[in-house]
Amino acid sequence: MTATVENPKVSAAIRVRGIEKSFKDLPVLRGVDFEVARGSIFALLGSNGAGKTTLVRILSTLLKADAGTAVIEDFDVAAESLQVRESISLTGQFAAVDEVLTGRENLILVARLRHLEKPDQIADDLLARFALTDAGSRRAATYSGGMRRRLDIAMSLIGDPPVIFLDEPTTGLDPQSRNEVWQTVRHLADNGTTVLLTTQTLNEAEQLADRIAILHRGTIIQNGTLAELKQLLPPATVEYVEKQPSLEDVFLALVGEAPVSDTETDLLPDAAIQQRKET
């Protein structure tokens, strides 16, 4: 165990105790407890319908819990919702960009809503950071899923909130866009932002999270580091296994993460060659 976990009062940015929530007769959360250390990435894993989005909505003050307490940056989500809202940002499961506006206009709008100075400058900086400068003057309706997701995350970073919630940030993205989102999330945590993300992709939790919690039948049934969770199963036996490239390795090599020779490009579809030329 690390010092941060032994001393949660000093370092926990999120403290959740006994949260319960039912929708009519359907109990969804039956007493959820966990803490997230400041500046760490916490992944909440769970199957469809486990209650991940419900929990994120409670923590971001959009929904009231039936019982229990949740404290974000020392503010109670029920009693101090205004202060909580100023401390967090939420990127929902479904992108919240305004499709009629351009990417740049979306960013400027949020910066204005947050009463920040120099909204144009903020927008341009974020467009550059998320590799959206060229697309910035196009309407968001014309963006691909990955671009839209990146814009959505960029919008949620305006105002530098200390805590961010990402509800399934990479669902529906191709491996390249997903890697870009992962890099963004790592960068945020490296700079002290606390990140709570939900995911169904176990690989995503393995790649990103300092701690992983599994939400199942309304409670957290396990919560630990990847190494701690792996210790729950019997120790691995040593076997000789030939290391074959995964389909993902092949895909990334073909579409952009590794240099491709002229002969190799002969094998690629036109769109992939075009994309390589552009990157």
Ligand X SMILES: Nc1ncnc2c1ncn2[C@@H]1O[C@H](COP(=O)(O)OP(=O)(O)OP(=O)(O)O)[C@@H](O)[C@H]1O
C-beta closer to ligand X: residue 83 or 200: 200
Q: Does position 54 bind ligand X by CB under 6 A? A: yes
3-state secondary structure of 44: strand
Pick one of 11, 16, 42, 46: the residue that binds ligand X (CB under 6 A): 46
Which listed option, ligand X, Mg ion, none, makes contact with residue 246 (CB within 5 to 8 Å by class)? none
Pick one of 16, 32, 36, 50: the residue that binds ligand X (CB under 6 A): 50
H-type alpha helices, 157-225: 175-190, 202-208
Pick one of 4, 40, 53, 91: the residue that binds Mg ion (CB under 5 A): 53
Which stretch in 3-11, 47-55, 126-134, 140-148 sits in contact with Mg ion by CB under 5 A? Answer: 47-55
Identify which of 81, 31, 85, 84 has the alpha carbon closest to the alpha carbon of residue 55: 31
Query: Are 199 and 170 spatial neighbours (Cβ–Cβ below 8 Å)?
Result: yes
Task: Give every CB contact of residue 101 below 8 A, 6+ residues apart in sequence.
Answer: 109, 139, 140
Which listed option, ligand X, Mg ion, none, makes contact with residue 49 (CB within 5 to 8 Å by class)? ligand X
Q: Does position 53 bind ligand X by CB under 6 A? A: yes
Which stretch in 51-59, 138-146, 154-162, 227-235 sits in contact with ligand X by CB under 6 A? Answer: 51-59
CA distances to 50, 138, 246, 260 from 276, rounded to whole Å, are 40, 22, 21, 8
Q: Does position 172 bind ligand X by CB under 6 A? A: no
In the window 67-96, what residues touch ligand X (CB under 6 A)?
A: 93
Burial 37-76, CB ≥16 within 10 A → b, else e: bbbbbbbbbbeeebbbbbbbbbbbbeeebeebebbbbebe
Pick one of 23, 134, 192, 206: the residue that binds ligand X (CB under 6 A): 23
208, amino acid identity: L
199, amino acid identity: T
Q: Which residues bind Mg ion (CB under 5 A)?
A: 52-53, 93
Q: Which residues bind ligand X (CB under 6 A)?
A: 23, 28, 46, 48-54, 93, 200
